[in-house]
């Protein structure tokens, strides 16, 4: 009974860490324009739209966060083997991983902008300084909390995977949750172009991203405000639920039916979410429906 209570407590703490990680990850990737609109941001100067939007996308969020979390988890494990305190080891290892992320972001921005030089897209040094450090700060929160969660799984729940392997698995899952959940909510329709949400991307509007905000020229930092309200919390809830439900079913049902209890519980959870998703989809279609043609005003 005590082991179950400990497992439930660790599960709740891991879910809370994952929630923070998801919110920080989505905010970091949106400020760095690593999400969906990055192709339009790259295309804009070629269409004559010079902008101040930072773009550090080289890969998708899942492989990027898989790399950074794995570096943090692997280095933390190496420090702990030498006898270092686990908390201190995770903090230092996460900071080292973020230096890699900062180098990645800097070279991506400079390299991409340099390739657009013939289209007169300048390198904004103030943008490089401000946005890079902001993305590094958010990435540190995401990596630190995810590595801490992996350490809890390994040390408190006795997960058989080594810390670095857990970092690969949960780093990719973190990036996937942020990419799939948070992107549609950070105002990409605003950054993308002046089209109504869901209206698609006509070829004639390619690269016509929004370049001006209420207080002048728009930069990627403006995405942080919107993401902090909607996309970040949504991604945090998504990743937190993934971690919590995954650990919860294992802690409670793994001993039932020789391990099949946890598998059956997982299948039931998937079925429940499929039913909920279908209900929400039908409800949305009934209430909002497809776009209709504008009706002419009658005299």
The pLDDT tens digits for 99-134 are 999 999 999 999 989 888 899 899 999 999 999 999
The pLDDT tens digits of the residues spanning 157-168 come to: 888 889 999 999
What's the CA gap between 2 and 165, in Å, rounded? 28
Higher-pLDDT residue of 192 and 82 is 82
Q: Is 266 a residue whose pLDDT tops 60?
A: yes
pLDDT of residue 192: 67
Q: Is 141 a residue whose pLDDT tops 60?
A: yes
pLDDT of residue 201: 66
Domain boundaries, given as residue ranges, for the chain: 1-195+205-239, 255-291
pLDDT averaged over every residue in the chain: 86
pTM, 2 dp: 0.86
Token pair recorded at residue 114: 């340099």
Q: Is 288 a residue whose pLDDT tops 90?
A: no
Q: Is 55 a residue whose pLDDT tops 80?
A: yes
pLDDT of residue 294: 61
- Across the range 189-217, mean pLDDT stands at 72
- Do residues 31 and 23 make contact, with C-beta atoms less than 8 angstroms apart? no
Buried b (16+ CB within 10 A) or exposed e, 129-145: ebbbebbbebbbbbbbb
Q: Is 295 a residue whose pLDDT tops 70?
A: no
Please give the distance of CA 239 from its chain centroid, rounded to a whole number: 9
- Across the range 199-212, mean pLDDT stands at 76
Residues 6 or more apart in contact with residue 63 via CB below 8 angstroms: 172, 175
Q: Which of 12, 291, 36 is nearest to 181 (CA)?
A: 36
pLDDT of residue 187: 61
197 phi and psi angles, rounded to 5 deg: -60, 130
Residues 6 or more apart in contact with residue 224 via CB below 8 angstroms: 27, 30, 31, 134
pLDDT of residue 32: 84
């Amino acid at each position: 009974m005590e082991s179950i209570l400990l497992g439930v407590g660790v599960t709740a703490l891991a879910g809370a860490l994952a929630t923070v990680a998801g919110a920080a990850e989505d905010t970091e990737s949106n400020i760095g324009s690593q999400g969906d609109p990055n192709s339009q941001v790259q295309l804009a100067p070629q269409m004559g739209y010079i902008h101040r939007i930072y773009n550090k996308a080289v890969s998708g969020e899942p492989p990027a966060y898989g790399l950074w979390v794995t570096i943090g988890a692997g280095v933390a494990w190496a420090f702990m083997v030498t006898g270092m305190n686990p908390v201190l080891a995770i903090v230092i290892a996460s900071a080292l991983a973020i230096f890699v992320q900062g180098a990645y972001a800097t070279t991506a921005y400079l390299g991409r902008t340099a390739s657009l030089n013939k289209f007169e897209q300048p390198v904004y040094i103030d943008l490089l300084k401000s946005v890079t450090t902001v993305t590094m700060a958010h990435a540190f929160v995401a990596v630190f909390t995810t590595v801490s969660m992996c350490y809890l799984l390994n040390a408190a729940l006795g997960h058989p995977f080594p810390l670095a392997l857990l970092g690969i698995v949960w780093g990719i899952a973190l990036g996937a949750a942020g990419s799939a959940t948070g992107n549609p909510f950070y105002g990409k329709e605003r950054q993308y172009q002046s089209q109504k949400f869901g209206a698609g991307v006509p070829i004639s509007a390619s690269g016509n991203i929004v370049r001006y905000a209420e207080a002048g020229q728009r930069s990627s930092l403006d995405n942080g405000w919107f993401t902090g309200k909607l996309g970040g919390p949504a991604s945090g809830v998504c990743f937190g639920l993934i971690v919590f439900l995954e650990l919860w079913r294992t802690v409670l049902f793994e001993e039932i039916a020789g391990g099949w209890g946890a598998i059956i519980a997982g299948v039931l959870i998937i079925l429940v979410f499929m039913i909920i998703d279908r209900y929400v989809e039908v409800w949305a279609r009934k209430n909002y429906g497809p776009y209709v043609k504008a009706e002419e005003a009658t005299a």
